[in-house]
Chains A and B, each alone.
Chain A
Amino acid sequence: ATASFIESRRRRRRNLQKVFYDESLSPEQALSEIHGEPLDTVENGSDEGEGDDDDFFKPRKADLETPTRTNEKNSFEEELERYNKKYEDSERLARLKYHFITGSLLDTQEK
């Protein structure tokens, strides 16, 4: 039952059509829903299967307090550090090579 509930919650979360056009959600709240930001901190207890779909998409206090990507204003140093950390991961860089034609060809030649 828990698995089916999680699945249904995921499905509802992914109901993009509704989230994009639901005027009761601000664009930032809609973005949080789409990107799957934290949903567990609902103000009134747990979020287990209560309410219908409309309730599910209503703005909650937790969403209002969640900073969204577009509102983040990082300084240059913070941004540089974040990107440097992100792209020092060798596995990530290896996966990224898939997106380049020559990279994939070189991999094939090496094999």
Chain B
Amino acid sequence: MSGTQMRRFKGCEYLTHRLVLATLSGTPIRVEGIYPNEADPGLKDYQISFLRLLEKLTNGSVIEISYTGTSFIYRPGNIVGGRVEHACPETRGIGYFLEPILLLCLFAKTPTSLTLTGVTSNNEDVGVDILRTSVLPFLQKRFQVGDEMELRILKRGSLPNGGGEVNFLCPITKVSLPPIRISESGRVFRIRGIASSTRVAPVLANRLVEAARGVLNPFLPDIFIYTDVRRGDECGNSPGFGLTLVAETNKGCSYAAQQCGEAGQTPEDVGSLCAQKLLESIESGGCLDQYTQPSILTGMLLSSEDVNSIVIGQLNITSELVTFLRDVKALFGREYRFKEFETGHIEMSCLGKGYLNINRRLQ
């Protein structure tokens, strides 16, 4: 591993996934040009926190940050997993830290029990509800990792003071992930959701539900939105509310949307906006939504040596995807292939690496 040539990157877009890919491939990386022209140059607190989290999940990792913080070197070690606790800064949501490492923990030496504290939902990062109700079930089903992969929301924490707490349990895999081929998204047959609130009147959650149902009911009668009202010790320090919606299709795909309320926003506006975002995601089509996409594409790369393919919608083609694909090429030497349909959907295919868990303990 130490003999692998170091890769250089400029800029820190999509840094978390780049670090995870570097860890999985065992490739040391040097990242330069991190916000060099800003008034506060260098790595942000949440990026440093993610590096610390990787350091806790691995053994032998070396992180060298330059004096100004505008460049750093990361030499990955072995993924060990185990019981890990980490406090995330309130500047980013817990999803920012948790989403990239969902698959990483599968390749650890021992099963992982990761406890993260911080902000459970915000409008910038994937919320824990989406991870629990959309991303994890999709991974469990497609990569056959079983029900042991679980996310428990112990406390909900809203902006600005956070105080939420989640526990992520992940088994290890002993074989390569199976390849996936999904070409049809199917049609939506049910919508589920969670309207959550912390330290506010319970009626706000009900108003969120009513507003979302008002938008979605003309399309589908099978809608059930749970309310999760947290008070006292069950939640963090700040008041807040938010809605997460997940639409499931008859072909096993799902689309998710989330929206959190901020000061001055009414639950009606937040609920209807969330429902309309879900409609946009459904309208865009494809077999993945923006939240599931990074994990699935990483899984396709690591799967057994067979052809993987998946169809994505136009809405999912973002600059993050471009950066991710270039990072995959730099660190794994693999390129995805693209085929565009008349509908605007794109089929992405790649050959799996047949990645095995080299860290696991032999028995």
A residues sitting closer than 8 Å to B (CB atoms) are 14, 16-17, 20-21, 23, 27-28, 30-31, 34-35, 68-70, 76, 79-80, 83-84, 86-87, 93, 96-104
Contacts and interface: CB of A to CB of B under 8 A. Distances in A.
A83 B273 contact: yes
B319 A103 contact: no
Given A99-B283, A100-B219, A101-B189, A35 B314 contact: yes
Question: What size tier do the contact residues of chain B reach?
Answer: 35 or more
30 contacts: A14-B340, A16-B338, A17-B335, A20-B322, A20-B325, A21-B326, A21-B329, A21-B335, A28-B319, A31-B317, A31-B318, A31-B322, A35-B314, A70-B320, A76-B265, A79-B273, A80-B272, A83-B280, A84-B276, A86-B276, A87-B215, A87-B279, A99-B188, A99-B283, A100-B189, A100-B220, A101-B189, A101-B220, A103-B219, A104-B187
Given A14-B340, A16-B338, A16-B340, A97 B262 contact: no
B13 A80 contact: no
A4 B285 CA distance: 31
Contacts of A70: 318-320
B60 interface: no
A101 B325 contact: no
Which applies to chain A's interface (DSSP): helix, strand, loop or mixed? Answer: helix
Contacts of B335: 17, 21
Contacts of B346: 16
A100 B187 CA distance: 5
B35 to A, nearest CB: 15
A100 B188 contact: yes
Contacts of A69: 318
Interface of B: 13, 187-189, 215, 218-222, 250, 262, 265, 269, 272-273, 276-277, 279-280, 282-283, 285, 314, 317-320, 322-323, 325-326, 329, 335-338, 340, 346
Nearest to A34: B317
Nearest to B261: A76
Contacts of A17: 335, 337-338
B314 A27 contact: no
B314 A101 contact: no
Nearest to A83: B276
A21 to B, nearest CB: 6
A27 to B, nearest CB: 4
